[in-house]
Structure 1
Amino acid sequence: MSSNQDTCPLEPAHRRYLLDLALASIRHGLTIGKPLPVDPANLPPPLSEPRATFVTLKKGGELRGCIGCLEAVKPLAIDVADNAFSAAFRDPRFPPVTAEEMDSLDIHIALLAPPEPMSFVSERDLIGQLRPGIDGLILQEGPLRGTFLPSVWEALPRPGEFFRQLKLKAGLPEDYWSDTLKIFRYGTETIE
C-alpha cells in the first residue's frame, strides 16, 4: 500500500484529471464496451500509485450507479477508469447508462484511506464510536462483507440506523450481533 494514501490531498489538476478520466471511460464504454485503457507509466506519481476508489454516478440527485474496491490493488488512474465504467454499465441495481443520459450524470469519486480495525465491546459501544459524515465502514462476518462510504450518512444520518442498514447490505439480519463481527473504519477524499 502506498504511504501517500493518508497524507496530502490531491492537487486540483490531478482531481480534474480523474473526473475527466471517469467521464472519458464511460464515453469509451458506450462505444467500445470496455473501460478506457490507461498507461500509468505516463502519469505523475500520485496518479500512478495504488489507491482504492469508488465511483458514484448520480442523475437528478438520485443514485445511478456505484462501484469500487476496498483494497488498493491498481494504480489510482486505472482504478478510477475501471470503476467509472463499472458504475455505468455493471452495477446490477441499474440498467446500463445510455448515451442520452451522459449530459445529466454527476460523477463523484471517493479515494479511500486505508481501513483501520475498530475495537468495541458491544453494539452500543460500536455505535457510540461512529462519526456521522466522517466514517466509512466495512462490516465483515465470515464470508459476508458490506461497506458504506461516508457519503451514505446523508441518507442515513443516525448511527444506529446506519449500522443496521449496513448489516442488511452485508446479508445479515438488522438485529444480528456476534463476538466475531469485524468492523473497519476509513475516511475518504471526495472529488466532485
Structure 2
Amino acid sequence: MSRAPTPQLDPPLQHWLLDLARSTVRSALDGHGLVLPDPATVPEGAGLPGAAFVTLRRGGRLLGCIGSIEAHRSLADDVAAHAYDAAFRDPRLPAVTDDDWPRMDVEISVLGPLEPLDVRDRVELAAALRPGVDGVLLTSAEGRGTFLPSVWAQVGDTDEFLDALWHKAGLPPRRWPRDLVVERYQVTEFDDA
C-alpha cells in the first residue's frame, strides 16, 4: 500500500481503535493469538491504509511499544497487529500478563506522511526540527531509527534528542553518514488513560 493521507480520526474512530487494541490483547491472553478485525465491522476511516505505533503502559511503566513508519495495510489491521506485538513481541520487555491487562493503558500514535528534510549536517537538522511536534526517521546503510514526537518530553533539548536517536539508529555518535536520509512526520496521538 502506498502512503495515504492520515484518515480523519474523530473521537468515535479513536475510541474504536483503542477498543480494538485492548480487545486484541485480551483475545491473545485468552489463547486466541492475533485476531485481525473482520473487514465488515471496520469503520470507514480505519479501513484506509495507515501506519501506527501502539504503546502499552501500566501505571506509567512501559509494557511495550511497536509500530510501523509506512502504511502497508489498513489502519485497523496495523493497530491490531501492533497491539499484539507491543504486548507479546517487544524484545525489550516481558510479555503482558493477565495481571497487567485490567490496569493497562493504551496509547495509539497514527503517523502522518513522511517529509524529507533537505539538511546536510546536524546543525541544519537541529534548526529544522520542531521539538514536541516532529517525529524523526533516520535511514542510512549503517542503521535506521525513529523517535515519535512524544520522545521530546523525555529529553532535555534537541542535542539530547538527536544523540539518543543516533544511538537508537546504531550510528556513530555525532557523525553524519554520507548516505543519511532524514525524514520527519507528525502524529495524531490518543489514549484511554
**TM-score range, shorter-chain basis?**
over 0.9
Match for 1:32: what amino acid? Answer: G
| Whole-Å separation in 1 of the counterparts to 2:139 and 2:4 | 25
2:82 match: secondary structure: helix
Q: Which runs of 5+ in 2 are unaligned?
A: none
Partner of 2:148: 149
1:55 corresponding residue in structure 2: 54
Partner of 1:122: 121
1:42 aligned partner, one-letter code: T
Match of 1:175 in 2: 174
Q: Which runs of 5+ in 1 are unaligned?
A: none
Q: Secondary structure at the match of 1:55?
A: strand
Report the equivalent of 2:16: 17
Cα offset for 1:38? 1.1
Contact 1:2 1:49 (C-alpha < 8 Å) held by counterparts: no
Q: 1:122/1:4 Cα in 2 relative to 1: closer, same or farther (>3 Å)? A: closer
Give the CA deviation at 1:92.
Answer: 0.4
Q: 1:108 to 1:151 in 2, by over 3 A?
A: same
TM-score by length of 1: 0.93
**Quick check: 2:4–2:113 contact (8 Å CA) kept in 1?**
no
What SS does structure 2 have at the residue aligned with 1:111?
Answer: strand
8 Å contact from structure 1 (residues 40, 47) kept in 2: no
- Please give the alpha-carbon distance, in whole angstroms, between the structure 2 residues aligned to 1:142 and 1:21: 36
- Cα offset, 1:171, TM superposition: 1.0
Q: TM-score, normalised by structure 2?
A: 0.93
Which moves more between the two structures, 33-42 or 91-100?
Answer: 33-42
The CA deviation at 1:151 is: 0.6
Work out the percentage of aligned pairs sharing the same amino acid: 42
Q: Aligned ranges for residues 58-97 of structure 1 at < 5 Å?
A: 58-97=57-96
Equivalent AA in structure 2 for residue 19 of structure 1: L
For residues 89-124 of structure 1, give each alpha carbon's deviation from its aligned partner in whole angstroms, at most 9, with x where no partner exists: 000000100001112211100000011110113211
AA aligned to 1:147 is: T
Farther-moved stretch of structure 1 (22-31 vs 36-45): 36-45
Paired residues, what number? 190
Residue 4 (structure 1) shift? 3.8
Partner of residue 134, structure 2: 135
